[in-house]
Structure 1
Amino acid sequence: MIPLSFLKPQNKARLPKQFHPFKAFIPSISSLWNTASILPSPEKTPLAFSLTTKPHCGEKHTTPKKSAFPNPQRTIAKTKMAMLLLIQLLLSFILLFSISSATFSPQPGICYGQLGDNLPPPRESVSHLTSLHAKRVKLYDANPAILHALQHTRLQVSVMVPNDLILNISSDQTLADKWVSSNVAAFLPNTRIRYILVGNEIISSTTNATWRHLVPAMRRIKHALKSLGIRKVKVGTSSAMDVLQTSFPPSNAAFREDIAVPVMKPMLKFLNRTKSFFFLDVYPFFAWSSDPVNINLDYALFESNNVTVTDPGSGLVYTNLFDQMVDAVYFAMEKLGFPSIRIFVAETGWPNGGDLDQIGANVYNAATYNRNFIKKVTRKPHVGTPARPGSLLPSFLFALFNENQKSGPGTERHFGLLHPNGSRVFDIDLSGQTPESGFRPLPAPENNEKFKGKIWCVAARRDNVTALAAALSYACSQGNGTCDPIQTRGKCFKPGSVFWHASYAFSAYWAQFKKIGATCYFNGLATQTAEDPSYGSCKFPSVTL
């Protein structure tokens, strides 16, 4: 058994494989039309016909029945009108079925983030989405330029209420009405908005001031939709795996004590009542990379052939880390009395690059994870998870582009399916139909083992002296003596350039504060290196791994 410390939808009846909703109705529609067309005219006979059964296409009507109506011509006209109305109803049913099927397409959507200064404009980005054959797209706001660019496409759209609006919307229905009117209703029906997420990972924030306002804000957004007559838009919020107090084994999972009753229970009640989803961000990469010794990499990549984990509480057997994480949330919801709420994977993916100290972030693993995930969720019949076998799991892959302005470790800027210029980081087929042999060869993974040695954090860009100077000032102001060696007459003062001084300050700051969460980023101005920048008596501080 592999010990883990990491920190959707219900079964849906499936139609028989041979069933096709449109083809199934073609004979009936043809028959009805033929019935109305072949009815005899009043000149030929005084009798009118009424149907006792729905004839098959090409069958003759041989059971005439005398009509009690004195006007045969009116009877025939009414019959034809009834046939036409029935045909319209059947066509409407087919359209409704198509919309319903599209809503639950197993093919993943894509998260479209915008935190980059080199990303293509909205129309070009939407073109990339369609070329990837995405079925849906998730935005992290309600950007009007993007929503306009999405008009008249078949993409279902998820928009987001910004985190900083939740507090005000929770207590102001007028503000909620205005937000929905401006950001949703104004774009319907040309832009197919289907989901509104109220905030992004709010419960992961260390500041709990917004937590109790989350569900009231969700209720107000839903009320605003209802008042505008918008019925097909689901309201939810995205949550990360850290909403769980315990996650292993899955059957023992439970929500954190500080949120279980005051936040999660009313949220689940809302989702259950409105038939919405629990939107969950699921990243096996972070679970594996936090404990690569005890968690098998193949198990995290859907590649394990001989590695399984058995839940001692439920007896369920797991063959991959993703299922284990998702089922933990199912069990946690069940413990609060909500076993039927469906899960929608709001984000999942694997980084294609990262910092030197980030194990397993490479193109090979990213391609492997994403391709295998797609095959899992698009498989027919649906496989679901061990706790919800056969269930369909709607999802979004993170993300469309590598975004160079995302803060945090290097992996945050390397989750894209595409480079900013639109070229693919690796081959991908969202339908899951392409065999592995149909893709181009991948580069071999080079960092599946932890880096060992010294790392320095140095300035990466010379082109913005003003920004470098500001970052230098920040780094030097955070610790005692951090920048003493680059002061006048200090051992590292020369060469006396902003770029050089910033490199020293970044390394000194990172070495001092990495243990408490500091990163080598500085708004994109810094990068890690394994090459020692020290010279002579000037020794740059480093981090040893």
Structure 2
Amino acid sequence: MELISKPSLVATLLLLALSLPSLQLTVADIGVCYGMNGNNLPSKQDVINLYKSRGIANMRLYDPNQQALQALRGTNIGLILDVPKTKLMSLGSSPSAANDWVKNNVVPYASNVNFKYIAVGNEIMPNDPEANSVLPAMQNVQNALQSANLAGKIKVSTAIKSDIVKGYPPSSGEFTSSSYMNPIVNFLKQNNSPLLANIYPYFSYVGTPTMKLNYALFTSPNPQVTDPKNGLQYKNVFDALVDTVYAALAKVGAPNTRIVVSESGWPSAGGKATSFDNAGQYYKGLIGHVKQGTPLKKGQAIETYLFAMFDENQKGGGVENNFGLFTPDKKPKYQLNFNN
């Protein structure tokens, strides 16, 4: 999750206010990201127990913490497991390193941990030093899973941030770097894997001073604004961001590649428009909304991971420390139904 909103996509969303027609309702998988950047967090077993007691069916884990993986055994909690940024160059340059990573962090748990996706890198941008390693690392991890007879069960992807996409209206969305994203998208198509996308209306709102708060918070009233290229109507920034990514996928020949929202959240303190009321409204609205799909993918529920499980006191300060759904003593900050 990036603290600063980039202008490339934010500015284009200023006028969006989506009206969703009557939509088919479907079941949306809701998960919560489990970050560990705090020195006052519960034990790994207590955290997994909290997921179970609150009915949270899915988790994103940003590194293969062995205690957390042990605690996940037998729970059937669906898991996104990240390959951390620090491992990308090694796994991208060495198939044996990728084999070792899979053998150490996936194979020992695969019989009773519900791995869904391996996220090879989080929010890597085309100019980052690790960028050239993302696709080779994805390929090497895929091959390692294949060797372990797990490729049919676990999908390999990478998590992008929304400002790797540009364009207004949403139907004009395209990737900012075709040389970086096109081969990654081709890999996803070939392996029937989804694209993981971190979607933050909060940063879009903060980066666009004239944007109305209700555009970002799933609150009414919202005027209807029509995408002139396809006639679809929009009333919230979340849908606009997701559909802009879908449009970018279509432009590189992958209109049917599914998007999993691998992070989305709203901070309760530390910055503009941060409050318990706003954050609670966002999370509640998001859980209720994603089962409907987006205007471009009407009725197709969006698997979504809320960011994050806890306030993490060792992050960068400001809003970064205040995305938690629970306090470190495991008390809920908001009344949410994760099975909605």
2:18 maps to what in 1? Answer: none
1:216 is displaced (CA, Å) by: 1.0
| Larger Rg, first or second structure (1 or 2) | 1
Q: SS of 1:165's equivalent?
A: helix
1:362 maps to what in 2? Answer: 275
> Given that residues 214 and 222 in structure 2 are in contact (C-alpha distance below 8 angstroms), is that contact kept between their aligned partners in structure 1?
no
1:105 is displaced (CA, Å) by: 5.7
1:425 maps to what in 2? Answer: 333
Equivalent-residue separation in structure 2 for 1:337 and 1:351 (angstroms): 36
1:384 is displaced (CA, Å) by: 1.1
Structure 1 residue 185 corresponds to structure 2 residue 107: yes
1:229 maps to what in 2? Answer: 149
1:292 is displaced (CA, Å) by: 3.4
- Pairwise mapping of residues 262-341 of structure 1 onto structure 2 (< 5 A)? 262-293=179-210, 295-341=211-257
Equivalent-residue separation in structure 1 for 2:334 and 2:128 (angstroms): 39
1:376 maps to what in 2? Answer: 289
Equivalent-residue separation in structure 1 for 2:229 and 2:68 (angstroms): 47
Equivalent-residue separation in structure 1 for 2:68 and 2:27 (angstroms): 22
1:252 maps to what in 2? Answer: 172
Equivalent-residue separation in structure 2 for 1:321 and 1:308 (angstroms): 12
2:161 maps to what in 1? Answer: 240
| Deviation string, structure 1 residues 385-432 (Cα, Å, up to 9, x no partner) | 11111212111000000001111x511110000000111111111122
Aligned partner letter, 2:110: L
> Given that residues 13 and 237 in structure 2 are in contact (C-alpha distance below 8 angstroms), is that contact kept between their aligned partners in structure 1?
no
Aligned partner letter, 2:99: D
Equivalent-residue separation in structure 1 for 2:237 and 2:92 (angstroms): 36
1:398 maps to what in 2? Answer: 307
1:309 is displaced (CA, Å) by: 2.2
> Given that residues 162 and 200 in structure 1 are in contact (C-alpha distance below 8 angstroms), is that contact kept between their aligned partners in structure 2?
yes
> Given that residues 156 and 192 in structure 1 are in contact (C-alpha distance below 8 angstroms), is that contact kept between their aligned partners in structure 2?
yes
Identity between Structure 1 and Structure 2 (%): 36
Identify unmatched segments of 5+ residues in structure 2: 1-9, 15-23
Higher relative contact order (CA 8 A, sep 6+): 2
Aligned partner letter, 2:272: I
> Given that residues 76 and 112 in structure 2 are in contact (C-alpha distance below 8 angstroms), is that contact kept between their aligned partners in structure 1?
no
| Deviation string, structure 1 residues 30-57 (Cα, Å, up to 9, x no partner) | xxxxxxxxxxxxxxxxxxxxxxxxxxxx
> Given that residues 111 and 139 in structure 1 are in contact (C-alpha distance below 8 angstroms), is that contact kept between their aligned partners in structure 2?
yes
Aligned partner letter, 1:277: P
| Deviation string, structure 1 residues 128-181 (Cα, Å, up to 9, x no partner) | 111221111000001000000111112011111111111121121111111001
| Deviation string, structure 1 residues 429-481 (Cα, Å, up to 9, x no partner) | 1122xxxxxxxxxxxxxxxxxxxxxxxxxxxxxxxxxxxxxxxxxxxxxxxxx
> Given that residues 239 and 295 in structure 2 are in contact (C-alpha distance below 8 angstroms), is that contact kept between their aligned partners in structure 1?
yes
- Pairwise mapping of residues 2-41 of structure 1 onto structure 2 (< 5 A)? 4-5=11-12
Structure 1 residue 353 corresponds to structure 2 residue 269: yes
- Pairwise mapping of residues 362-511 of structure 1 onto structure 2 (< 5 A)? 362-378=275-291, 383-407=292-316, 409-432=317-340
> Given that residues 217 and 285 in structure 2 are in contact (C-alpha distance below 8 angstroms), is that contact kept between their aligned partners in structure 1?
yes
Equivalent-residue separation in structure 1 for 2:279 and 2:167 (angstroms): 24
Identify unmatched segments of 5+ residues in structure 1: 8-15, 18-103, 433-545
> Given that residues 6 and 290 in structure 1 are in contact (C-alpha distance below 8 angstroms), is that contact kept between their aligned partners in structure 2?
no
> Given that residues 107 and 134 in structure 1 are in contact (C-alpha distance below 8 angstroms), is that contact kept between their aligned partners in structure 2?
no
Aligned partner letter, 1:232: K
Equivalent-residue separation in structure 1 for 2:132 and 2:45 (angstroms): 38
1:163 to 85, 96, 100: 85
